[in-house]
Amino acid sequence: MARFLAGRLVALIFILLALTLAVFVIDAAVPTDPVAANLGAGASQTLIRAARHALGYDQPIYIQYYRFLGRILHGDLGTSLRTHNSVAADLAQFAPATVELALASMILISGLALLLGLWSASGATGATAIRFVLVSLASAPTFFFAIVLVLVFYSWLGLLPASGRTTAGTATGFVMTHDLWRGDLVGWLDGLRHILLPAVVVALGPAVAIGRVLRGSLVDAMAQDHIKTARSKGISDSAVLLRHALRNALTPVLAMVGLQLGLVLTGVIVVETVFAWPGLGLYTSEALVNSDFPAVIGVTLVLGAVYVVINAAVDVLQVVADPRLRDRP
């Protein structure tokens, strides 16, 4: 096991290095000259050359990459062309909203996927109906589903707000987490009302995808011989399902979770735009529209790193769930 973890850690470092290299190459390949762009159109050749030297752009490419890596490790992701703040500071400002949205989505994903998977695998009544409803909802394009939800819950029923994180208009920071920490239930419920619609939109697709894999792999697990052994011991149906079948069904589910969380990361960009959610997604779409390359590069690095770490965690969890994978060379 220790050997496996060490191996995964080394692999993780290499993948992260590859990610930075990819981002560096894209950055270098972009046709706009960041130095010229920074100095303005009227700058003289001498001035540009001096600035290039000062910023290290006249150095060999591997030195540039080395310095790029060094900057990343020090948290220096460059300066946004749009906000003129450091990208790192911008990310720190916008990330909390996205983290809260992603967390809320993940809670919904787990709940919905377990509901869908366990309910339909247990063959209980209503399983087919709930499966039909969830799958149809997940088949709709995200933006369409988002608009329908806004129409129903905001325009018609007036139950839930359609944009922002709080009624007061607070945009940054861990709003709900902070409310929970202070014990401010009213504030937290206000945050909950705001986060509900965007979180449902983000969660539905991944939840249904994961739920279907869970169902299929639970059905397979329930057909295994050891389930017959467990039943012959006089164990209740729920214990058979939860204690014996679920853990044996996890390997493909975890693989799907890894894939789907990647989609969640890109999903938030669309959803944040629709719901005016002031997070990384909104920041990225603004940056894309304004050709703010340092910002786009910064977001790519951060989301890429999160994705890589999540999938490494999934690998480890798979091995934790199924001890047979531990002895595989």
Partner 1 sequence: MSAVEAVSPPVAEIRDLRVSFRSAEGQVQSLRGVSLDIAPGEIIALVGESGSGKTLLGQSILGLAARLPGVEIAGSVWVAGVDMLGGEVRRRRWVQRHLLGAVFQDPLTSLNPTTKIGRQLTERGITPTRALENLRDAGVPQPALRARQFPHELSGGLRQRTAIAMALGTAPITAGAGCDGEPIGVALIGTGETPQLIIADEPTTALDVSVQAQIVLLFDRLRREHGCAVFFVTHDLGVAASIADRIVVLYAGRVCEVGPARDVLARPSHWYTRALLAARISVNTPTTVPIRAIPGAPPNPAALPPGCPFAPRCVNAQELCDVSMPDLAPRAAGDGGGSVACFYPQPLSAAVAPPAGDDVLEPAEAVAPHAPPLGMALELASVTKRFTVSGGRFGIGGRMVHAVSDVSLGIESGGALALVGESGCGKTTTLRVACGLIAPDSGTVHWGANAGRPQLVFQDAGSSLTPWMTVGALIEEQLVRRGIARKELRAAMLDLLARVGLDARAAGARARNLSGGQRQRAAIARALAAEPRLLICDEPVSALDASLAIRILELLQTLRRDFGVALMVVTHDLGVARRVAETIAVMYRGQIVEQGPVETVFAAPRHPYTEGLLAAIPTTEPGRLSPKLAGEPPSPIGIVQGCAFAPRCPYARPRCTDETPILRDLGDGRRSACHFAEELGNRL
- x-marked contacts with partner 1 along 288-327 as a string, rule CB under 8 A: ---------------------------------xxxx--x
Least distance (Å) between residue 17 CB and partner 1:
20
Ramachandran quadrant class, 78 (left: phi over 0; alpha: psi -120 to 50; beta: rest): left
> How distant, in Å, are the alpha carbons of 3, 9, 221, 321 from that of 328?
12, 17, 21, 14
Question: Biggest alpha carbon distance in the chain?
Answer: 86
- Give me the least distance between CB of 327 and partner 1, in Å please: 6
Nearest distance from C-beta of residue 248 to partner 1, angstroms: 5
Nearer to partner 1, 182 or 226 (CB): 226
Q: How far is the CB of 107 from partner 1 (least distance, A)?
A: 25
DSSP one-letter string for 70-95:
HHHHTT---B-TTT-SBHHHHHHHHH
Pick out residues in 165-224 that bind partner 1 (CB under 8 A): 224
Contacts of 41 (CB under 8 A, 6+ apart): none
84 scored as a contact of partner 1 (CB under 8 A): no
Report if residue 2 touches partner 1, rule: CB under 8 A: no
Site string for partner 1, 9-48 (x = CB under 8 A): ----------------------------------------
Options 127, 247, 286, 316; binder of partner 1; rule CB under 8 A = 247
Distance of CA 266 to the CA centre of its chain: 7
Distance CA 287, CA 299 (A): 10
Q: Contact at 8 Å (CB) between 260 and 287?
A: no
Nearer to partner 1, 10 or 18 (CB): 10
Q: Is the distance from CB of 256 to CB of 213 less than 8 angstroms?
A: yes
* 114 forms part of the interface with partner 1 (CB under 8 A): no
**Interface pattern 216-245 for partner 1 (x via CB under 8 A):** --------xxx-xxxxxxxxx------xx-
Residue 12 beta carbon to partner 1: minimum distance, rounded to whole angstroms: 17
User: How many residues belong to the site for partner 1 (CB under 8 A)?
Assistant: 23
Instruction: Pick the closer one to partner 1 by CB: 45 or 232.
Output: 232
> How would DSSP label each residue in 249-284?
THHHHHHHHHHHHHHHHHHHHHHHHHTT-TTHHHHH
Which of the 8 DSSP states describes residue 151? I
By CB under 8 A, tell whether 139 contacts partner 1.
Answer: no
> C-alpha distances in angstroms, 70 versus 14, 124, 154?
16, 57, 48
What are the two backbone dihedrals, phi and then psi, of residue 79, each rounded to the nearest 5 degrees? -115, 135
CB of 109 to partner 1, least distance (A): 23
How far apart are CB 240 and partner 1 at their closest, in Å?
A: 10
Task: Tell me the closest approach of the beta carbon of residue 241 to partner 1, in angstroms.
Answer: 13
126 touches partner 1 (CB under 8 A):
no
Contacting residues toward partner 1, per CB under 8 A: 224-226, 228-236, 243-244, 247-248, 321-324, 327-329
